């Protein structure tokens, strides 16, 4: 009897005795398996909590070694705006990744995770990290303007604020589409200009959309894009004007029908006008023209040139001329521009005013029979002077 009592007492002491290794404790783990693991051991988040300057190529990844993920919420804070980051879990529920593999730059990410282990215990984890803030950025200046109505000869032109080294990456981040649909192809002119056009002039009524997804695209070493925007414009009626420099006339054709023949004066024998297709880039009711700005020394300085429409970057304009009233229709006297009869101050009753009032940015003016070369495709919006095969060859994406 005494031996039996001592044996039972010994067993009881052993059962309730505390140990330093946690195996026999009386807490939640107790005899049922020990202390729960810390959340950071159960739920692994990459990049690490508190990381700074994380590069865009690093992977955001959430995983558990056992059990499964019950919920994952990721929020991106960028440009004073919070937005959820969509993602997906693996079939076994043990891993989560964002749908967009690249991390946004200059952003803070907040990750909240709940996991469930095999015994039904939940663990939660909250982490944050910030991404790299670039020292240098680039943007694209888009022609034409958003919501504008343009002529059928408009070429979409992007002028970049920095030289682009990775032209293929930048080109992939720009999408130009049209309704009704038409094939639109890009062409690079140098390192900081990218133009888009269809094979032929746009059809009247076409809606064109330019999507820039340049944000965080590395255009050159250490230089990242800043824009995420959309530009849209509408193609208006068709108007193409044919300037015959030898006959001193301009035939204005609207939607396939001759609207009028207007007398003009083109470039004088020593300062001829470019041949070829040019596109109206800008329209000014009055402007100053100074010969020194286009390499002609001090030959002229006219403070009030009326009805001026810019055709090239090098300084070719179609404009009103009031100082040589007898020249249009008879003789070429300009320094390379196309002049129409006008009066000082301009008037809608003159040929120049009449044409100006019926023109749009994006209209085509084609010059023939001038004793000069064809205008370069990169001089203004002169891309229509390039054959379609050659134009397509100017893409950086092969």
Catalytic residue IDs: 319, 337
For strand 257-265 and strand 338-341, is the pairing parallel, antiparallel, or unpaired? Answer: antiparallel
Task: Tell me the C-alpha to C-alpha distance, in Å, between residue 191 and each of 128, 260, 359, 375, 379.
Answer: 38, 41, 32, 20, 15
Provide the β-strand partners of residue 62: 45, 96
The count of C-alpha atoms lying within 13 angstroms of the C-alpha of 119, restricted to the half-sphere facing its C-beta, is 9
Q: In angstroms, what CA-CA distances link 14 with 7, 17, 28, 54, 179?
A: 11, 5, 19, 53, 84
Cα–Cα distance, 62 to 111 (Å, whole number): 9
- Which residue has 């800043």 as its token pair? 226
């Amino acid at each position: 009897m005494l031996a039996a009592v001592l044996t039972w007492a010994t067993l009881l002491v052993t059962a309730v005795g505390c140990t330093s290794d946690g195996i026999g404790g009386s807490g939640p783990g107790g005899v049922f398996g020990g202390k729960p693991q810390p959340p950071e051991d159960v739920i692994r988040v990459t990049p690490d909590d508190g990381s700074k300057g994380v590069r865009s190529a690093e992977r955001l990844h959430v995983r558990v070694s056992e059990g499964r993920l019950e919920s994952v919420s990721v929020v991106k804070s960028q440009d004073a705006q919070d937005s959820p980051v969509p993602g997906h879990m693996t079939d076994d529920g043990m891993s989560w990744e964002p749908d967009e593999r690249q991390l946004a730059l200059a952003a803070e990410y907040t990750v909240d995770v709940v996991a469930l282990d095999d015994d039904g215990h939940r663990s939660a984890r909250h982490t944050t990290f910030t991404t790299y803030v670039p020292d240098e950025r680039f943007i694209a200046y888009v022609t034409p303007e958003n919501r504008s109505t343009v002529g059928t000869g408009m070429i979409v032109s992007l002028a970049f604020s920095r030289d682009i080294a990775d032209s293929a990456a930048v080109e992939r981040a720009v999408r130009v589409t049209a309704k009704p649909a038409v094939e639109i192809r890009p062409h690079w002119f140098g390192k900081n200009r990218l133009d888009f056009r269809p094979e032929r002039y746009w059809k009247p009524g076409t809606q064109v959309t330019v999507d820039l997804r340049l944000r965080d695209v590395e255009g050159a070493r250490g230089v990242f894009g800043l824009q995420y925007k959309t530009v849209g414009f509408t193609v208006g009626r068709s108007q193409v004007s044919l300037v015959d420099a030898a006959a001193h006339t301009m035939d204005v054709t609207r939607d396939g029908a001759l609207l009028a023949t207007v007398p003009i004066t083109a470039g004088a024998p020593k300062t001829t006008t470019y041949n070829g297709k040019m596109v109206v880039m800008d329209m000014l009711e009055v402007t100053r023209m100074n010969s020194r700005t286009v390499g002609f020394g001090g030959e002229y300085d006219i403070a009030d040139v009326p009805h001026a429409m810019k055709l090239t970057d090098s300084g070719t304009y179609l404009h009103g001329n009031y100082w040589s009233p007898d020249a249009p229709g008879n003789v070429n006297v300009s320094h390379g521009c196309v002049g129409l009869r006008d009066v000082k101050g301009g008037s809608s009753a003159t040929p120049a005013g009449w044409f100006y009032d019926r023109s749009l940015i994006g209209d085509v003016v084609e010059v023939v029979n001038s004793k000069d070369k064809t205008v370069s495709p990169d001089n203004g919006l002169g891309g229509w002077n390039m054959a379609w095969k050659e134009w397509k060859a100017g893409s950086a994406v092969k």
